[in-house]
Amino acid sequence: MRAEIIKAIRTCMPIAVGVVPLGLAFGVLMVQTGFDWWWTPIFSIVIYAGSMEFLAISMVTGGVTPAVAALTGFMVNFRHIFYGLTFPRDQISVRLGRAYSTYALTDESYAVLSTFPRNLQPSGAFVFTVQLYCQVLWVGSGIVGAVAGQAIPPSVKGLEFALVALFIVLAIDSFQNNKDYSLPLSAAVLGILAGFLFPGQLLMVALSAYFVLLVVRYLSPRVDNAMILRREASCQPE
């Protein structure tokens, strides 16, 4: 088991490059928004969903209703439903460990564990360690950022852009895996329309409309094929 734990930690080392800076930015943003530093680990443990935690800051300070907050959380983290279909949670033999694995499922842990072939699944100790390590990185860096953020003057601006940067990176990465131009174009059009028609509920309306569009495309291959927009590769002489 010790060898599996060490192997899991070494496998997750590259994740720290992305998780730690974002966690630091989250902690700093928390205290600069007006929260006490100790709210940072509470957010990171109770919510534990990076993008949703950033959104939660604006929703709490903006007085969003619980119903809208719950629906937004569902829309933002809807992809986790599909993660769970192939996630090797059943490799953990202890029931409490499987419960924690369900709670701690994130993009980072899924990215690490989804690389294993079906005929060579990781051990339960490996799965549990990967998820625990990812959360320790996130919670720890958030606390450090919150404590250090108290020394940063309020005049420093721009940290709130961390959420926008996160979504831009995720969108670019997703587009690289599926270069269908209709997806970002549809999102842009729906976002612009929601901004004009429902300026007070732009995010909720745009996410809901985009979700409905994706469901329609999934259920109707004819609609999906009609909307696909790919750039044809240009033929160049050798």
Q: Are residues 228 and 210 in the same domain?
A: yes
What is d(CA 55, CA 75) in angstroms, rounded to the nearest whole number? 12
User: Residue 159 — pLDDT band, cuts 50, 70, 90?
Assistant: low
136 and 216 fall within a common domain: no
Same domain for 24 and 112?
yes
Residues shown for the chain? 238
Please indicate, yes or no, whether residues 125 and 10 belong to a single structural domain of this protein: yes
Instruction: Report pLDDT for 192.
Output: 94
Q: Are residues 184 and 161 in the same domain?
A: no
Instruction: Verify that 199 and 142 share a domain, yes or no.
Output: no
Range of the domain at 49: 2-176
Query: Does pTM surpass 0.85?
Result: no
Domain shared by 204 and 111, yes or no: no
Mean pLDDT in residue range 103-121:
81
Q: What is the pLDDT of residue 162?
A: 63
Assigned token pair, 154: 């309020």
Say what the pLDDT of residue 21 is.
84
Q: Up-side HSE of residue 119: CA atoms within 13 Å toward CB? A: 0
> Does the structure show a pLDDT above 70 at 174?
no
* One domain, residues 79 and 111: yes
- pLDDT over threshold 60, residue 128: yes
- For the ranges 59-73, 134-148, 157-171, the lowest mean pLDDT is seen at 157-171
- Please give the pLDDT value at position 173: 67
Domain end residue (candidates: 124, 149, 176):
176
Residues 138 and 215 in one domain: no
Could you give the number of structural domains in the chain?
2
Domain shared by 95 and 185, yes or no: no
Pair 88, 204 in one domain: no
pLDDT band at 166 (very low <50, low <70, confident <90, very high): low
What is the pLDDT of the chain when averaged over all its residues? 83
Confidence of residue 147 (pLDDT cuts 50, 70, 90): very high
The confidence score (pLDDT) of residue 163 equals: 61
Highest mean pLDDT among 21-35, 64-78, 170-184: 21-35
Asked if pLDDT for residue 81 goes beyond 90, the answer is no
Q: Residues 28, 114: one domain?
A: yes
Query: From residue 69, how far is each of 19, 53, 62, 73 by CA, in Å?
Result: 24, 11, 11, 6
